[in-house]
């Protein structure tokens, strides 16, 4: 959503990506099929900043990919804090764990391999922050599953809610991902249980606060 020159300007005037995250970034582009799914330096610094502001003790992430965003958010956790992250791709597990091991914050992270909705049910915890960045077709189901597990005043951060601008275009009947992102956006916009704002950060980040 941001042109390259402006993106470079933002990065040059923001905190530098830590070296261990630069390695995760580089290795992801070398070894993974869809490296574009990585949060990247710009969004990573934003996630870390949000979490420093909120000062969470418990974070839940849906969609680990290669662990970049989890490591960014874990920066804001104290030594007693825990971040649970759920990834459906079991073939990526060794790569993810190696990335966590390469960071001083990796020990704060608990990786769960499996279906997100199934794994959410197993977590008997109350969260301060939930970051949703998994299957776009399940965003509304994730939202309803995690909202009861978030403390009053806690936050959901939902990624990709502008979806390359497709939310403004005619939707193809078979484009399930765009259909469900739009359904999620419309539902959250009308939900009186939360406050919400969409930020045009990368591909759109919706910040949702539970009333």
The pair of structure tokens assigned to 192 is 């009186």
pLDDT in the model for residue 2 = 59
pLDDT in the model for residue 157 = 98
Look at residue 210 and give its three-state secondary structure: strand
Q: What is the CATH number of the domain that holds 31?
A: 3.40.50.150
**Mean pLDDT throughout 197-208?**
95
Q: Which of 112, 128, 30, 33 is nearest to 67 (CA)?
A: 112
Does the pTM surpass 0.75? The reply is yes
In sequence order, which residues have a C-beta less than 8 Å from that of residue 95 and are 6 or more positions away?
27, 31, 32, 66
Q: Which domain holds residue 137?
A: 4-210
Q: How far apart are the first and last CA of the chain?
A: 30
**Mean pLDDT throughout 53-62?**
98
**Mean pLDDT throughout 56-77?**
98
Q: What is the pLDDT of residues 2-44, one digit of tens each?
A: 578 988 899 899 999 999 999 999 999 999 988 888 998 999 9
**Residue-averaged pLDDT of the chain:** 96
Note the helical H segments in 114-175: 116-122, 139-146
Q: How many domains does the chain have?
A: 1
| pLDDT of 101 above 90 | yes
């Amino acid at each position: 959503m941001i042109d390259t020159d402006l993106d470079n300007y933002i990065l040059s005037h923001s905190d530098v990506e830590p070296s261990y995250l630069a390695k995760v970034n580089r290795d992801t582009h070398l070894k993974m099929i869809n490296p574009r799914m990585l949060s990247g330096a710009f969004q990573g610094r934003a996630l870390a900043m949000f979490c420093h502001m909120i000062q969470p003790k418990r974070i839940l992430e849906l969609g680990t990919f290669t662990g970049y965003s989890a490591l960014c958010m874990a920066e804001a956790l104290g030594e007693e804090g825990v971040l649970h992250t759920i990834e459906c791709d079991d073939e990526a597990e060794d790569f993810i764990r190696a990335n966590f091991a390469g960071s001083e914050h990796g020990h704060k992270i608990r990786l769960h391999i499996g279906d997100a909705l199934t794994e959410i049910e197993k977590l008997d915890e109350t969260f301060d922050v939930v970051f949703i960045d998994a299957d776009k077709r399940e965003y509304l189901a994730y939202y309803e599953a995690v909202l009861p597990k978030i403390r009053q005043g806690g936050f959901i951060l939902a990624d990709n809610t502008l979806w390359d601008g497709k939310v403004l275009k005619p939707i193809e009947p078979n484009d399930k991902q765009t259909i469900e992102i739009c359904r999620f956006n419309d539902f959250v916009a009308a939900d009186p249980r939360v406050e919400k704002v969409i930020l045009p950060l990368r591909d759109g980040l919706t910040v949702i606060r539970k009333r």
